[in-house]
Amino acid sequence: MSRKKKPYDRQVFRAITLIMQFGINMLVPICLMSAAGIWLDKHFGTDFWMILLFCMGAVAGGQNVYRMARTIYEDGDDKHTKKDE
């Protein structure tokens, strides 16, 4: 017995995927830069690299999320404003 997928199923999965992409795009740069900062702090015996690189990772993650949101928003506008010929 085959189950026919409802149209909202696809929208729900698309929304969940989008939310996960936002989180990943924000967390990956923060985690990588923080790890690099911790390594630099241990290697050089300093205390400021982790904080500095964490902030840089947060800015980079914010830029990633902004670019992705802007692209999605612009693509959504194009779909609604185009007229079928």
Q: Out of 2-6, 25-29, 71-75, which region has the weakest mean confidence (pLDDT)? A: 2-6
CA–CA separation, 85 and 74 (whole Å): 21
In which region does residue 58 sit, left (phi positive, over 0), alpha (psi from -120 to 50) or beta (all else)?
Answer: alpha
Tell me the two tokens of residue 3.
């189950």
Segment 55-82 mean pLDDT? 87
The pTM of the full predicted model, rounded to 2 decimals, is 0.76
CA–CA separation, 28 and 57 (whole Å): 8
Round the average pLDDT of the chain to a whole number and report it: 88
Dihedral of the alpha carbons of 24, 79, 15, 73, in degrees to the nearest 10:
40
CA–CA separation, 58 and 6 (whole Å): 38
